[in-house]
Amino acid sequence: GDLMLDRIFGLNANNANEYPFGVHLTNTNLASHEAQQSQDHYDYQATHPDDIRIIQKLIKQANHEKKTISRF
């Protein structure tokens, strides 16, 4: 948590190189970053179909349980 807060508020700049994570979004790189995220998402789905099936099954189960609970 501290590392994330430091990054958000620009504190401890030397930690940025030691613990690189995330992307600094700007007006200049936002669209290309979103496009890359979409492509990465698509690529993951294409190369991990078993994971996707498991996730879809879990979502279905959760939605069913939510409907069952909301009846009370």
Give whichever of 10-14, 54-58, 61-65 has the largest mean pLDDT. 54-58
Residue 65 lies in a domain: yes
Residue 11 lies in a domain: yes
- pLDDT for the residue 24: 83
Residue 22 lies in a domain: yes
pLDDT tens digits, 20-48: 777 888 999 999 999 999 999 999 999 99
Residue 16 lies in a domain: yes
Domain membership of residue 6 as a residue range: 2-28+47-70
Burial 6-30 (b: 16+ CB within 10 A, else e): ebeeeeeeeebeeeeeeeeeeeeee
Residue 41 lies in a domain: no
Domain count, the chain: 1
Residue 40 lies in a domain: no
Q: Which two tokens stand for residue 67?
A: 């409907």
Residue 63 lies in a domain: yes
Rounded to two decimals, what is the model's pTM? 0.61
Residue 35 lies in a domain: no
Q: What are phi and psi of 41, to 5 degrees?
A: -60, -50
